[in-house]
Structure 1
Amino acid sequence: MKTEKPISEGIMDSLQMKTSFKDFNSLKNEADTLYLKFQRMGFIESELLELKKENDSSYLADFSLGKKFSFLKVFYSSEDFTKKELQQISSEVDETYFILSFESIPLSLKKLTAIRNQKGNAFARVKLTDFEKDENENLSATLFIDNGNVRTVDSIVVKGYEKFPRSFLKYYAGVRKGKIFNQKKLVAQNENLNGLGFVSAVKPPEALFRKDSTTVYFYLEKQNNNLFDGILGFANDEETQKLTFNGYLNLELNNNLNYGEQLLINYKADGKEQVNFRTKLTLPYLFSTPFGLSGELKIFKRDSTFITTEQQIRATYQIDPRSTVYVGYKGYESSNLLDEAIAGTPIDDFKSQFFIAGGSYIKPQNRKLFPVKNAILLDVGIGSRKKDGKSEGQLGVETTLNNIFNLNYRNSIFIQNQTSVLFSESYLVNELFRFGGINSIRGFNENSIDASLFSLINTEYRYQFNDGIYVHSIIDLGYFENETISIKQNLYSFGFGLGLNTKAGLFKFNVANGNAQDSDFSFSNTKIHISISSKF
């Protein structure tokens, strides 16, 4: 190759030029390719002057390069692109033009085409026309847009799981008829469906474009998503000679009627100290609307001290695929089981009624072991407690915030904060929040701490070996207040854990040592938390 002026080594390297060819046609194709490469580098006036045969085995390509242009001034219409959109490809954007380096032109045009596609122009084409040089030898061009027809989703077809509840497509994933077709958004919505648990996306969605309609196909497969784990024991109480139960049972039935419904049954008992029972029924998207209903019953009994029953009903509304709000009613009824009052332990019969409202924001991610990227939960209750014929106003607030910081595929950091507070003029032990254990602060017994206010920070550094096993650290910090005994205290726990996805289900093993402020470290405070969730 020969040019009218020497070419730098950097340009020669970027050309990646071949020098040996099996025949003349492949040699001619390489010469034409070099011409296009020169143009993309900014030598837009370049041309191949001659391809001359020097001898039986050598040819000489003679190029005229002309001036090298480093930047291109591109004029555009604000009706086609906004300044904010153009700032994705250019650092210098004016009201009528933007500046591009020559090397970035192909990628920039590709990005602009993708932006038009997201606006429903599935067959849009973006190109540069009307190249001109001004008096200062600066190069300019005009951005030309061929939008084609704007496409909207006219029909939706589900393949593989024909009985899939369509309301989840509309409200949970956000796929609706009449929406502008956006391939990138459809792929993200398809991945969101994996977060439901009872369905999996077999492959990305596809679109069939006809002359006057667009049909989107989703390829789904029903998954068994009923969960069960538990151990139940039976024994005779040495004092009363009555049969007692101990252990735990956790049953979760999901989408067995192809409606997206959920039934939870949870039972925990240690035989003597406490019994905790919970059941909840959730009915989403009633009559194919974004409204749903849920009802819940909780019963908590602490040895022979007290028993508290909680009933709750909620009406929910799905704002968008990630956000839900609700209003409802929550009622408590508690009975003092003590024959005689214990000094310094205010326990009494009472009834409470609360109007509750709140919401949630949950962002899923396509990770089998950690399907939720971040979550924000808020619950506020305004009501009153009635005791001995007297009523007292109360306000309760509960929040949960968590996030996973994905450093890369194997490494991530999980951080969660749980805060609950009850505002009241006076407090009873049997109306306080109860926390401690694997779902709150690890290293402490389950529901062993009473609080009128508590705030917990749970952290885990996670290392994932593959999609089936991970290990993690445990660093939990907590603060709580108990107004019934006028105590304020800091808590902390440290440990490690293991998660293993087996044929039987997801096995979790945690070892944590929990201590209170100003307490000496003791190995006897170490707790082992084991859980396994089996799908069927």
Structure 2
Amino acid sequence: MKFRFEFLFPLLLFIPQNLWGQEIFGVILQVEGVPKQEAVYFKTQELASFQADSTLMQIRNKGYLQAQILKEIGGDTLLLRVKSGPVFSWNELELSSIPEEFVQDKGRPGADYPAPYLWIEDLLDFAENRGWPFAEVKIDSIGIQGTQLSGKMNFEAGPLITWDSLSIAGSAKTRVGYLQSLSRLEVGRPFSQTRLEHSTQLLRKSPYFSLVGPPEVSFQQQRAIPVFTLQERKLNVFDGVIGFLPNENEPGKLLITGQVDLRLFHLGGKGRDILLQWQRLNVQSQALDLNYKESFLFRSPLDAQVHFSLLRQDSSFVNRSFVLDFGYRISDSGYLNFFTRRQAGDLIDQGGMGLEELPSFIDFRWNQYGIGGEWNYLDDVRFARKGWRVSGDFAAGNKRILENTGIPVELYEGLSETSTQIQGKLEVEKHIYLKPVWGMWIRGAGGIIENRNLFLNELFRIGGLKSIRGFNEKFFFAQQYTYINMEQRLFFGQNSYLMVFGDLGILDNPYFSPRIDQPFSFGSGINLDTEGGLFSFVFALGKSNIQPLSFEYARVHFGYLARF
């Protein structure tokens, strides 16, 4: 046997899986010295014959230039008898016109390239990605002596092509400058087909628009102008959510809580985002979040964000946070950000001069600096079915405790006015595609904050629809926490599904007894994607050290997220 059978037979296995369901025409590959193999089936005789021709080309590319495949048709079976012939190799091949950089990288046709076809393909790819998309390669003066080949390889590069500014087709609002920065196609750099394909994949990941077909390239005066046809997505959001929960001040009655969520994306077609979110957590507690993001600041690779948040916790305290964040795309899926954050807390009700010890809340100021990152490998930025994402951040800085005039001075004795405080968070989510109508979503999250003098209004706030369901929003205080969310999703539309879920967490709060809490929750819900927006309904039951498992504490949330 003159060549390895292991190379040939797998070629017949590269058959689309959907053809196996209709076994109409079989193909058997027969090589001298190898036992007869089982048939592989195709829909038609034409497809089987095409596969035979492809197999022959693969054999010849391995150096068997005189290889032949004899076809014998018997009923519904095609028998391929392989006659390989001798292996030809290159003895003398003049490469004076071939770029030296390519020869040094790939070597000469020979042991690694018994036939020149693959070597020529690599050479053309080399030229195409260095500004010569119209390069040609020819073999001249071919000589044959036995199984030894000789000849001359002529390479004609053609004109050097460089990138020009890209163009946008259609009625998309996206600006050319933003798309140019996002694509990473640099004007004046040599044309590269690989770079174009890479840029296309980057644009397909954008949440702001989708690509309509592959890009077109117009060549004018040694310039390449890529043309992208975009279709804008409906991303702007107005969300109103209503929740019903027991009124702690009036037993037996329900308290209606609410949330307003306004998100404006890609304003002016420049990747500019604005977010406004307001929540009423209970009778006296409210939260406000404002966020502004500017992409590719001053045409640089940097993104900039400014974020402000305010939380009023009944009559106990008010917390404020101001963040300035700069982000940079380190890879196709990786994003790195650096930030500075100032957090402040102030007491509302000090408790009067009758205090004998410091309250669990404190007046403080915390200036911190941190680094964060995200690696996103989801198949869709909006409605993922498979893939995973991981994000996290770490911050450290000096915290200063302020003496409140409403609290006796002697209670602050022995308490360090300034100290170093650190904080870290990590979140991992995984989407598992099981069947077209069945999928799973799993998320794990954790966080820790460390300082020798920690107070309740400095701790993490978790609980609610975005963390541990079955509890009020920001229900738990935690110095350390970890939780996992698991959902089974039954899809009845592209982005609509029924779900059942379970959440499990472990929390550490030094001000509670016992300080370790292990809350869990479960329930079901529906997400319904419509032309105008997303309707959601969730019913959840939860249990913790301070909330029993009871239908009296069930959480029902529903809302309509309108996109425009």
Q: TM-score range by the shorter chain?
A: 0.7 to 0.9
State which drifts further: 497-506 or 339-348. 339-348
Question: Residue 556 of structure 2 aligns with which residue?
Answer: 528
Secondary structure of 2:199's aligned partner:
helix
Question: Residue 299 of structure 2 aligns with which residue?
Answer: 288
How far off its partner does 1:292 sit? 3.4
User: Aligned pair in 2 of structure 1 residues 229, 356: CA closer, same or farther (>3 Å)?
Assistant: same
Question: Residue 497 of structure 2 aligns with which residue?
Answer: 470
State which drifts further: 74-83 or 259-268. 74-83
Secondary structure of 1:186's aligned partner:
helix
State the alpha-carbon separation in 2 of the partners of residues 260 and 73 from structure 1.
56
Q: Does 1:309 align with 2:320?
A: yes
Question: Residue 338 of structure 1 aligns with which residue?
Answer: 349
How far off its partner does 1:69 sit? 3.9
User: Aligned pair in 2 of structure 1 residues 82, 252: CA closer, same or farther (>3 Å)?
Assistant: farther
State the alpha-carbon separation in 2 of the partners of residues 202 and 66 from structure 1.
45
Question: Residue 462 of structure 2 aligns with which residue?
Answer: 435
Residue segments in structure 1 that go unaligned for 5+ positions in a row = 1-7, 20-32, 49-64, 87-93
Counterpart residue type for residue 174 of structure 2 = F
Question: Residue 299 of structure 1 aligns with which residue?
Answer: 310
RMSD of equivalent CA atoms: 4.8
Secondary structure of 1:346's aligned partner:
coil
Counterpart residue type for residue 303 of structure 1 = D
State which drifts further: 278-287 or 455-464. 455-464
How far off its partner does 1:208 sit? 1.5
How far off its partner does 1:47 sit? 9.0
State the alpha-carbon separation in 2 of the partners of residues 206 and 167 from structure 1.
18
State the alpha-carbon separation in 1 of the partners of residues 285 and 263 from structure 2.
22
Question: Residue 259 of structure 2 aligns with which residue?
Answer: 248
State which drifts further: 397-406 or 416-425. 397-406
Q: Does 1:502 align with 2:530?
A: yes
- Report the count of equivalent residues: 479
User: Aligned pair in 2 of structure 1 residues 133, 401: CA closer, same or farther (>3 Å)?
Assistant: farther
Counterpart residue type for residue 359 of structure 1 = G
More strand, by proportion: 1
Q: Does 1:419 align with 2:446?
A: yes
How far off its partner does 1:279 sit? 0.9
User: Aligned pair in 2 of structure 1 residues 511, 69: CA closer, same or farther (>3 Å)?
Assistant: farther
Q: Does 1:386 align with 2:413?
A: no
Q: Does 1:460 align with 2:473?
A: no
Alignment match of 1:451 (pick from 473, 478, 483): 478
User: Aligned pair in 2 of structure 1 residues 524, 156: CA closer, same or farther (>3 Å)?
Assistant: same
**8 A contact 1:169–1:176 mirrored in 2:** no
- Residues 100-111 of structure 1 mapped to structure 2, 5 A cutoff: none
User: Aligned pair in 2 of structure 1 residues 308, 461: CA closer, same or farther (>3 Å)?
Assistant: same
How far off its partner does 1:449 sit? 0.8
State the alpha-carbon separation in 2 of the partners of residues 401 and 82 from structure 1.
44
Secondary structure of 1:266's aligned partner:
strand
State the alpha-carbon separation in 1 of the partners of residues 260 and 481 from structure 2.
27
How far off its partner does 1:132 sit? 6.5
**8 A contact 1:45–1:66 mirrored in 2:** no
Secondary structure of 1:443's aligned partner:
coil
Q: Percent identity?
A: 21
Secondary structure of 1:458's aligned partner:
strand
Alignment match of 1:267 (pick from 252, 264, 278): 278
How far off its partner does 1:376 sit? 3.2
Q: What are the Cα deviations for residues 230-271 of structure 1, in whole angstroms up to 9, with x where unaligned?
A: 1579xxx999xxxx9941100011233333211111011044
Counterpart residue type for residue 519 of structure 2 = L
User: Aligned pair in 2 of structure 1 residues 227, 146: CA closer, same or farther (>3 Å)?
Assistant: farther
Secondary structure of 1:98's aligned partner:
coil
State the alpha-carbon separation in 2 of the partners of residues 261 and 314 from structure 1.
14
User: Aligned pair in 2 of structure 1 residues 41, 432: CA closer, same or farther (>3 Å)?
Assistant: closer
Alignment match of 2:217 (pick from 204, 207, 214): 207
TM-score (norm 1): 0.72
Residue segments in structure 2 that go unaligned for 5+ positions in a row = 1-26, 32-38, 46-50, 70-80, 404-416
**8 A contact 1:192–1:364 mirrored in 2:** no
**8 A contact 1:35–1:47 mirrored in 2:** no
Secondary structure of 2:178's aligned partner:
helix
How far off its partner does 1:38 sit? 6.7
State which drifts further: 421-430 or 465-474. 465-474
User: Aligned pair in 2 of structure 1 residues 232, 364: CA closer, same or farther (>3 Å)?
Assistant: closer
Secondary structure of 2:225's aligned partner:
strand
Q: Does 1:68 align with 2:84?
A: yes
Question: Residue 89 of structure 1 aligns with which residue?
Answer: none
How far off its partner does 1:516 sit? 4.0
Q: Does 1:398 align with 2:408?
A: no
User: Aligned pair in 2 of structure 1 residues 423, 212: CA closer, same or farther (>3 Å)?
Assistant: same
State the alpha-carbon separation in 2 of the partners of residues 198 and 35 from structure 1.
45
User: Aligned pair in 2 of structure 1 residues 154, 70: CA closer, same or farther (>3 Å)?
Assistant: farther
User: Aligned pair in 2 of structure 1 residues 448, 206: CA closer, same or farther (>3 Å)?
Assistant: same
Question: Residue 3 of structure 1 aligns with which residue?
Answer: none
Counterpart residue type for residue 395 of structure 2 = G
**8 A contact 1:201–1:220 mirrored in 2:** yes
**8 A contact 2:130–2:191 mirrored in 1:** yes
State the alpha-carbon separation in 1 of the partners of residues 528 and 53 from structure 2.
57
Question: Residue 339 of structure 2 aligns with which residue?
Answer: 328
Question: Residue 367 of structure 2 aligns with which residue?
Answer: 353
**8 A contact 2:316–2:348 mirrored in 1:** yes
Counterpart residue type for residue 256 of structure 1 = L
Secondary structure of 1:164's aligned partner:
coil
**8 A contact 2:469–2:521 mirrored in 1:** yes
User: Aligned pair in 2 of structure 1 residues 278, 111: CA closer, same or farther (>3 Å)?
Assistant: same
Counterpart residue type for residue 209 of structure 1 = F
Q: Does 1:362 align with 2:373?
A: no
How far off its partner does 1:476 sit? 2.8
State the alpha-carbon separation in 1 of the partners of residues 550 and 131 from structure 2.
64
